[in-house]
Amino acid sequence: MTRLIKQINFPSDLRKFNKNQLKQISDELRDELIDVVSETGGHLGAGLGVVELTVALHYVFDTPRDKLVWDVSHQCYPHKIITGRRDKIKTLRKGGGLSGFTKRSESEYDPFGAAHSSTSISATLGMAVAKNLSNNNNNVIAVIGDGAMSAGMAYEAMNNAGALKSKLIVVLNDNDMSIAKPVGAMSKYLAKLLSGKLYFSFRETVKMVISAFSKRFSQKAGKAEDLLRGLVTGGTLFSELGFYYIGPVDGHDVDNLVQIFENVKNSTHQGPILIHTRTQKGKGYKPAEDSGDKYHGVSKFNIATGEQTKSQSNAPSYTKVFADTLIKHAEQDTKIIGITGAMPSGTGINLFEKKFPDRTFDVGIAEQHAVTFAAGLATEGYKPYAAIYSTFLQRAYDQVVHDVAIQSLPVRFAIDRAGLVGADGPTHAGSFDITYLSTLPNFVVMAASDESELVKMINTSVHINDRPSAFRYPRGNGVGVELPSIKDVLEIGKGRVIKEGKKVAIINFGTRLEQCIKASEILYKKGIDISIIDARFAKPLDEKLIMETANNHDALISIEEGSIGGFGSHVMQFLSDRGVFDRGLKFRSMFLPDLFIDQDTPEKMYEKAGLDFLSIANKVEETLNSNIIFAKNKNKFSN
């Protein structure tokens, strides 16, 4: 049999085929997706579930003129294969290759970049309004999963769209899963929407009854249909938000999807339309279908067996160290609560849940709610741990400020994926949390330099009952050090001296400590013996240790895995206020550069960021050899 998929480089090629060939094309596209991800790793289950949707949407709509926006966009690999990127598809998530998400700079078929959830309806509404203002007649379509519908932003957008009566199309991809099993009343509501027999049989019965009457009743058919939709389906909610609701329909029946999309495309209905499709995450690949997470995210794998290639390490992951340590504390303290926002396995809260199901809360993709929910628990004397990725905590910054910090409530933030994260690229990098948390009064902000330090910081946070605290740690495995007991706590705001040297001191905050030590070994061979400090705390600073270090060295270098405005900025401000620079101290701050770093291996990303051991060693030599200092009593540099 001739492989049709090889003849498709762009959607315009797809539209040359007959409708009866679309099922074969879908099957071939699914096979190609499995083949690609088996070599690249990445998101698989979501893409497998939307193959037919992808084919039908590009077949019916005139993309890229018609705007197609994928929510989260981790399901966009099939979309990329048929939109001009087949020749590069095996560079997915690699340095210099294709992004694992939609990206405006990558293709005109990606009208909106995404990687965080629940943004698609807002974005397409903006496009729809712009279309109207420009007198354009193109279509705008958002594809959003049921998991993303647990976030309030989706409903804010739907409410606005209904009020504006804008012409946009929302495809609800309902697969009973987001990343983990969906939670909350909304997922139960969607699950109860009549997914087949009763709805369709009743609908057809009504149509038959209507058709049996004379044509003078035909004008009432629409009202009958509306009544049916209100009485029989859960479309009532969407109808109340101003959407014309269609569904649920089989999201794997490509012929039916094409017919529905053509009807919607040609409809004269004024206002937003929601098409509710039912799909199966992991569809068409048995290992994915049988897996609990439906192969949401995978490493390279054997297609025949589904067995994934896992990196070998004797050291535990930071995520597991967090989970295991929290469990030990929870065994002794019934006030400890675990909270996550639809990321139980990613944050380790799934392990906590196995031991303490009554004290575990997955609130869905709702970080804003998660933070204020934790604040409410804290007011009642509980010890909530909000385990949220750094990049996702950004979405709840107002709640962190208003509901936690201002009230000085002892919410504990376990910030996973701190720093650069590799293949997921800039959308998932934990670049800003040091800066956006350290500016807040009443906060304790910690960063672990290794897994042992992480345990100590968790231990310490258990006893911080008068204010909020946060500890950050990276994706991946630790360095293989012995773990302390849960009784080993830190003194708040106190760093530690790792190595004593002369002239230059490095004050490290986070897991660049190992790179600092490697840099010191290179420098020692060149006759440069440096001091190394592990700061542990960005807030409060160890002012005594910093002052002693500044007074005993000619130069000071701060290092952190975060953006400008974080740890180094606070150190510089402290030293400036104390007049230390008037005495001629050289100071340099090493942090993530002022740009978004594209996906690559973490090692190469940190090289690009200038935070690897060679860059650190070069910075020390450059600082020593520089004659530039802060001029005494002047607001300028001098030589």
Q: Supply the residues annotated as catalytic.
A: 281, 367, 395
Q: For residues 491 and 473, what is the distance between their CA atoms, to the nearest angstrom?
A: 19
Contacts of 269 (CB under 8 A, 6+ apart): 167, 244
Give the count of beta carbons closer than 10 Å to the beta carbon of residue 525: 8
Residues 6+ positions from 546 with CB-CB distance below 8 Å: 495, 507, 571, 574, 575
**Tokens, residue 12:** 């315009």
Instruction: Enumerate the β-bridge partners of residue 249.
Output: 277
- Phi and psi at 200, nearest 5°, equal -70, -35
β-bridge mates for residue 80, sequence order: none
The DSSP secondary-structure symbol of 477 reads B
The rounded distance, in Å, linking the Cα atoms of 446 and 606 is 21
Task: HSE, CB side, 13 Å, CA atoms: give it for residue 521.
Answer: 7
* β-pairing verdict for 140-145 and 412-416: unpaired
CA 342 distance to own-chain centroid: 11
Residue 138 structure tokens: 């193109």
Bin 107: left if φ > 0, else alpha if -120 < ψ < 50, else beta.
beta
Instruction: Determine the Cα–Cα distance for residues 169 and 176; give it in Å rounded to an integer.
Output: 21
Q: Which residue has the tokens 């290639």?
A: 309
- Single-letter amino acid, residue 217: F
Nearest-CA neighbor of 562 among 539, 545, 546?
539
**Is residue 55 exposed (0-12), middle (13-18) or buried (19+ Cβ within 10 Å)?**
buried
- At 94, list the tokens: 């690699």
The amino acid sitting at 630 is F
Three-state DSSP class for residue 152? helix
Cis previous bond, 248, omega within 30: yes
Does residue 361 contact residue 373 with C-beta atoms inside 8 Å? Answer: yes
- Contacts of residue 379, defined as CB under 8 A and 6 or more positions apart, other chains included, come to 407, 409
Q: How far apart are CA 234 and CA 236, in angstroms?
A: 5
- 300-320 exposure pattern, b = at least 16 Cβ within 10 A, e = fewer: ebeeeebeeeeeeeeebbbbe
Looking at the DSSP assignment, which residues form a beta bridge with residue 588?
A: 557
d(CA 469, CA 451): 18
